[in-house]
Chain A
Amino acid sequence: MSSDAVTVTPESTADLADAMRAVEADDARVSIRGAGTKQGWGALSRETSVVIETTRLARVIEHATGDLVLTVEAGARLTDVQNAVAAHGQRLALDPPERDATIGGVVASAASGPWRLRYGTPRDQLIGITVVLADGTIAKSGGKVVKNVAGYDLGKLFTGSFGTLGAIASVTVKLQPIPPAMRIVSVAADEPGAVWAAVARSTAEPTAVEWDGRTVHVLVEGAHAAVEAIASTLAGSLGTTTITDTLPATFGARPWSPGEIGIKLTHRLSALDTAVAALRRELPGARLSAHVGSGVVWAGWPVADVASARAAVEALRTVGSTVVVDAPFEVKQAVDVWGPVAAVSLMRRIKDQFDPDHRLNPGRFVDGI
């Protein structure tokens, strides 16, 4: 965005539609943002003159507690939503570590955390969505019931679209009961593959299995009467005795700090150690972590020189899809952050249908979309 960009903060879906129409009337380009926790994610945006920020579009529209369903405006902060529904013993099964993120931002970036092993990613929590297109059209799909196959699922298309198809005005998500008790079984592992193989063969049904580069932590949740038994059986098969009932501070943390490079490598489940070995080979000294059992490994390191970062990313792409998630400006300028994309011409056609003038977050997504 340009430095003198105008910021608009709509307070309702109608406001948001007005803002879009004004943008269209001015033939402007827009950045859409929530709390801005992922402004560094995605490719570099081309110049925009307007910022639409959703942080004042943040009401809880309806919490149907008995139905475990929540409808909330896009700008509501995930943390606030969790606090509100926790009062009823419920949670939204999304735990990306960016604490200040808005729901709309989490959905638009498909951000996930450790719980994805059991519950999936934002696409799997969403049961309804209301969006505003670049010409101000307000449209919804899905609804507020957990089972529904009427019409196309725009929610899935908008999840992970990085604001390039339209602005998310509100979402309806399903909620989960908060399990009464938890245990964490921890086992040291330089390579997490063997631990995963043992967990996968067990019937513990863990909520999450996280590796922080040194230790695998298995989160088991359930009834008070059950978790101890499940955890100790699991610990036995993993050859450890370390069972605690609090999460380590680093649980689910991304292994990079602001200003560093963070990448995400995805792999088939059996190739976890291969992925880890490739990361260690191409990025000696990088911090690693993994959503074990989900096929996601993260790496973070400080930029030394851009050319070698680029070479490492290219080399990793022969191992698995590698996305440069977060990185300083000069790195994003030099590296293809998304990497190769299947069916990209179809994606372009979708973009052309939804945002024919390419006004929204231009350049931020794959292939310059």
Chain B
Amino acid sequence: MTLAALASDFTRVLGDDSVITERAALRTYECDGLTAYRCIPGLVVLPRTTAQVSYVVRRCHEESVPFVARGSGTGLSGGALPMETGVLIVMSRMTNVRAVDIEDERAVVEPGVVNLELSRRAAPHGYFYAPDPSSQQVCSIGGNVAENSGGAHCLKYGFTAHHVTGLEVVLPDGTVEKLGGYAPDPVGYDLIGAFVGSEGTLGIATEVTVRLMRAPESVRTLLAAFRTMDDAGAAVSAIIGAGILPAAIEMMDALSIEAAEAAVACGYPAGAGAVLIVELDGPAAQVEADGSAVEDHCSAAGAFELRLAVDDAERAQVWRGRKSAFAAVGRISADYIVQDGVVPRTALAEVLGDIAALASSTGIRVANVFHAGDGNLHPLVLFDESKGETERAEEVSTRILELCLEHGGSITGEHGVGHDKKKQMSRMFTADDLDVMQLVRCAFDPASLCNPGKVFPTPRLCGERPGRRTGAHPLQEAGVADVF
């Protein structure tokens, strides 16, 4: 069956305002937040209900047509990159908040609900939803589930995987399954754990149950300015080493401070080679105790200015520079690549030194903005396409990931593998590791139709076990025959 025939089938069942076939309109969906990769989808559908998602997926499965889910399209690894020969299922119309049950500390939302909406709904009750990606004003909960998104505050609160207690998913054959719910510890394999972070390759989430948390009594945000990155790094090590667990520790280097100043005039201390934002939250007495310890550690490490935000307005001002940093580098560079790698926290200083050396040897500038508390780097590789620097910038960007791996880290801390980092997967994992991961894929999606070609460098044919038997012979299982 052709895509055109599927389109008329979907139009009949979903209504014609839910199916897009015109090329100009399809173009809107040609890429996600990583605009370097583009592909105009064969067909776009915008379902409103689980039943509609299930119908679309079932028909795709019957016709062997690949499909890709898309949330808000803010992903930075090409995870929602569509296929010319496939259907793009856009979840942005499923935006109902189905329940906010404060006494159960749970909310139930459709996947198109925007991340920040959850905290907005919970706030009047004194609760919040912890995972707070910087894109939280636009990214969808469905996308967060797929990417296992984190945010600045995941140092204390963990990632999406720690906050999802229930899922309704449409499996790649169209079957609808409910996993978990309000109660903890669902019986059987941890399918929620397997699904969260699977980058849209194991099915489509159509409902998400999340944990809501009691808002902390006290929040204290400190901006500390240092002469050098090394000094700031030493302060981070001292804070963590002292057993203090801040909600967030973020670091910016001179170049990213310069960009943020140019963009939003955040007013960070002049002459800083690095700033740290350390946010503590919790019971007031605890925050008070940790707060003075953090200030002491920063001073001892050489901080030349400490600014304590005393109210929400000041806090917002401190965060403004950090939150605008990605977009802000546009002010100081024609083009840039946002990289996402992780190193053990104790290797930060060394890796940053290596990155600086790489930058000076290649002439490609790198601005560093990152989650220092958990070693998640976001180097911004600056270049000018019009000067033919693209290729060199890409080399620098790739080399940074290699540095992360050489220090025992990871090729991605939160943006995912998607289309972009498939190749690097085989540098981080062995062929056996990747084959075994794909056993999960084969259990969920044996036909390999659900967001195919993402995450894994070499797709594996399900049912094929190189050099292995595919299973017990039925007679053997019944105890009638033996292999030997």
Contacts and interface: CB of A to CB of B under 8 A. Distances in A.
Contacts of B214: 200-201, 203, 205
B103 A269 contact: yes
B388 to A, nearest CB: 31
Which range holds the interface residue count of chain B? Answer: 35 or more
A106 to B, nearest CB: 14
Contacts of B105: 200, 269
Nearest to B198: A152
B408 interface: yes
Interface in B194-220: 194, 196-198, 214-217
Contacts of A354: 436, 439
Interface stretch (B51-59, B60-68, B278-286, B330-338): B278-286
B437 interface: yes
Contacts of B184: 121, 266, 294-296
A226 B283 contact: yes
Contact of B189 (A137, A145, A160): A160
A35 interface: no
Interface stretch (B9-17, B87-95, B311-319, B421-429): B421-429
A141 B345 contact: no
A341 B188 contact: yes
B283 A154 contact: no
A344 interface: yes
B286 A223 contact: yes
A131 B432 CA distance: 11
Interface string B366-392: 000001001110000000000000000
B440 A150 contact: no
Interface string B231-242: 000000100111
A177 B470 contact: no
Interface string B174-202: 00011111111111111111101110000
A147 B162 contact: no
A27 to B, nearest CB: 6
Contacts of A269: 103-106, 182
Given A205-B282, A341-B187, A154 B241 contact: no
Given A147-B154, A154-B437, A270-B103, A357 B193 contact: no
B185 A139 contact: no
B374 A151 contact: no
Interface in B453-470: 455, 465, 468-470
Contact of B375 (A146, A160, A204, A352): A146
Contacts of A138: 432
A178 B105 CA distance: 27
Interface in B437-459: 437, 439-444, 455
Given A64-B344, A140-B429, A230-B286, A323 B436 contact: no
A157 B440 contact: yes
A149 B188 contact: no
Contacts, number: 280
Interface string A324-345: 0000000000000011111110
B158 interface: yes
A339 B342 contact: no
B439 A357 contact: no
Contact of A226 (B103, B285, B343): B285
Contacts of A140: 429-430, 433
Interface string B152-164: 0010001101100
Contacts of B435: 137, 139
A89 interface: yes
A156 B342 CA distance: 20
B193 A123 contact: yes
B437 A152 contact: yes
Contacts of B177: 342-343, 346
A135 B472 CA distance: 12
Contact of B440 (A152, A222, A320, A358): A152
Given A66-B345, A346-B443, A160 B282 contact: no
Interface string A50-83: 0000000000000010111100000000000000
Interface in A126-144: 131, 133, 135, 137-141, 143-144
B82 interface: no
A348 to B, nearest CB: 9
Contacts of A230: 283, 285-286
Given A154-B437, A356-B469, A143 B187 contact: no
A267 interface: yes
Interface stretch (B29-37, B357-365, B410-418): B410-418
Contacts of B471: 352, 356-357
Nearest to B446: A349
A319 B159 CA distance: 31
Given A149-B412, A353-B442, A356-B471, A229 B285 contact: yes
A68 B158 contact: no
A321 B183 contact: yes
Contacts of B483: 27
Contacts of B221: none
- For A140, A203, A230, A353, which residue has the most chain B Cβ atoms within 10 angstroms? A353
A13 interface: no
Contact of A342 (B101, B104, B179): B179
B288 interface: yes
Given A145-B342, A150-B425, A223-B286, A366 B197 contact: no
A11 to B, nearest CB: 21
A347 B444 CA distance: 9
Contacts of B371: 147
B191 to A, nearest CB: 6
Given A151-B437, A358-B472, A143 B193 contact: no
A269 B178 CA distance: 19
A145 B104 contact: no
Contact of B470 (A123, A270, A349, A356): A356
Nearest 7 CB-CB pairings of A with B: A156-B193, A177-B243, A203-B217, A139-B436, A223-B289, A226-B285, A268-B182
23 contacts: A64-B344, A135-B468, A139-B435, A143-B409, A147-B159, A147-B342, A147-B374, A147-B410, A149-B415, A152-B437, A156-B194, A157-B440, A197-B103, A205-B283, A226-B288, A266-B183, A321-B187, A338-B187, A342-B177, A342-B180, A342-B186, A357-B477, A358-B477
Given A205-B286, A341-B187, A356-B469, 19 more contacts: A137-B432, A139-B433, A140-B429, A145-B409, A149-B410, A149-B414, A151-B428, A197-B103, A203-B283, A222-B283, A222-B285, A226-B285, A229-B283, A269-B103, A269-B182, A321-B187, A338-B187, A339-B187, A347-B188
